[in-house]
Structure 1
Amino acid sequence: MGAVIGDLLPFAVGVAISPIPIIGAILMLLGKRARTTSIGFAIGWLAGIVIATTIFVFLGGAFGDSTSTATAWIKLALGVALLAEGIREWRVRGVDHGTPKWMTAIDDMKPVTALGLGFALAAINPKNLMMCIGAGVTVGGAALSVGSDVVAVAVFSILAATTVVIPVVAYQVAADRLRGPLDRLKAWLEANNKSVMATLILVIAVVLIGKGISGLA
């Protein structure tokens, strides 16, 4: 169990420091409906992580234990896909792609819409989905008990969701104190999000490729 949790940590960090959802949460906390939309977004974000990861726990279990050839090939393929994405992110890190439309619409967003957005960024966004796939396959392939699977998914999901959920919870009790720090964090993430994400993806890609190759040896 401890070894599985250790293997999940890189994926959890990968989801946790994904800049786009953090920027989205900050924009909601600085918007007109800060309290309600941010809560909806945080719930959707956490639910998306849990559901996406759980689906791949079952799929990972269907392929056998963590030493199986199928599991090794999945990790290798996922690592190669992440490597390609990391290289692409690094190459376009200095290019301004403009502000996504959903970010400009945050002020008029309702809690249900924010919940759906949080879910989509966690469970449908390709970069975060690949992290959840990696985590799910790792848990499913470890041949743990059902209870241990639940604990592993819970630990991963909580860690992965912290950077969105903690600011939202903190805002509910100390809104005025957080406005300045949130503004500065948003500015930094907007300036550096491509570099941060590219570096992280490349590191996790190398780890996955290494695990995949060792599993095939």
Structure 2
Amino acid sequence: MWSQLGQVVAEFFPLAVGVALSPLPLIAAVIISLGSGGGGRAVALVAGRFLGVVVVVGVFAALSELFADAGGSAIVLSALNVLLGLAMMVFGVLTWARRPRGDEADSPPKWMASLTGVSGPSAFGLGFTLSAANVKELAFGAGAGILIGGTLTEAPPTIAAVAIFAAIGTVTAAAPVLAVLIGGERIRPALDRLHAALIRSSRTITAVVLVLFGAVLLSSSFG
């Protein structure tokens, strides 16, 4: 029952890294962590993000299993992976072309400025939304879900695979939260610098991640 779990984790690992490298959840985690008493609210954000990733990957894994049970062919599943890979690469190129330049690149979106005083439930909802209602995240999650559902046939290893994917995808958003909880005020200057760097280059990071991991998804489909 568990024999294929390691293989599946190895195959979806690049997609999980793609989710982990998504800059917006990391930026949100840094901003909330830097706010007064932001530790608890930042934990809520990370919890919402983890649940959002679980829902996305779990839904696609379930749909993939249902499709396989209904007699769907591996060729069709592979074709879906190809379409996802192409969509990610196209979206990455468009994101690169539309990236802000000059002074515009240093201006954070208005929603980021409101995060310092966000409530715990709102932080949880934001974390969930950034994972479950984000086109880029959906593409990564769909690719992983199709792989998991098309390979694993029993519930326990499927649940374990989805949880492992979500844990890998959430680790970067959790890192600044843990840093603040452990390091306290000593870590604030480093997080301030990280925040400024991410604001300047978030679109560029997103574009590179989408193109790179879209290519990974395509290569795995033909491998």
Tell me, yes or no, if structure 1 residue 92 matches structure 2 residue 101: no
Deviations 1:100-146 (CA, angstroms, capped at 9, x unpaired): 33212112211001100010001111111211111111100113422
- Which of these residues, 187, 195, 202, is aligned with residue 178 of structure 1? 187
Distance in 2 between the 1:29 and 1:143 partners? 38
User: Which segments of structure 1 move beyond 6 Å, counting only runs of 4 or more?
Assistant: none
In the TM superposition, 1:163-174 aligns within 5 A as 163-174=172-183
Contact preservation (8 Å) 1:40, 1:115: yes
Q: For 1:63, what is the secondary structure of its paired residue? A: helix
Contact preservation (8 Å) 1:33, 1:107: no
Distance in 2 between the 1:41 and 1:33 partners? 14
Q: For 2:151, what is the secondary structure of its paired residue? A: coil
- Which of these residues, 55, 64, 70, is aligned with residue 76 of structure 2? 70
Q: For 1:141, what is the secondary structure of its paired residue? A: helix
- Which of these residues, 31, 40, 59, is aligned with residue 55 of structure 1? 59
The answer to which of 161-170 and 110-119 deviates more is 161-170
Q: Partner letter of residue 38 of structure 2? A: A
Tell me, yes or no, if structure 1 residue 26 matches structure 2 residue 30: yes
Q: TM-score, normalised by structure 2?
A: 0.89
Instruction: Name the Cα RMSD after superposition.
Output: 1.9
CA-CA distance at 1:32 after TM superposition? 2.6
CA-CA distance at 1:67 after TM superposition? 7.0
Distance in 1 between the 2:189 and 2:57 partners? 34
Distance in 2 between the 1:153 and 1:132 partners? 10
Distance in 2 between the 1:64 and 1:102 partners? 41
Contact preservation (8 Å) 1:49, 1:123: yes
Deviations 1:78-108 (CA, angstroms, capped at 9, x unpaired): 1111011011112123443743332121122
Tell me, yes or no, if structure 1 residue 43 matches structure 2 residue 52: no
In the other structure, the counterpart of 2:208 is 199
CA-CA distance at 1:34 after TM superposition? 1.0
In the other structure, the counterpart of 1:108 is 117
Distance in 2 between the 1:177 and 1:148 partners? 41
Contact preservation (8 Å) 1:63, 1:70: no
In the other structure, the counterpart of 1:13 is 17
Q: Partner letter of residue 109 of structure 2? A: P
Distance in 1 between the 2:185 and 2:149 partners? 43
The answer to which of 26-35 and 111-120 deviates more is 26-35
Q: Partner letter of residue 22 of structure 1? A: L
Percent identity over the alignment is 31
In the other structure, the counterpart of 2:149 is 140
Q: For 2:36, what is the secondary structure of its paired residue? A: coil
CA-CA distance at 1:179 after TM superposition? 0.5
Q: How many residues align?
A: 214
Q: For 1:64, what is the secondary structure of its paired residue? A: helix
Q: TM-score, normalised by structure 1?
A: 0.91
Q: Partner letter of residue 197 of structure 1? A: T
Q: For 2:35, what is the secondary structure of its paired residue? A: coil
Deviations 1:12-54 (CA, angstroms, capped at 9, x unpaired): 1111111111011100011134122211111111111111111
Distance in 2 between the 1:39 and 1:166 partners? 11
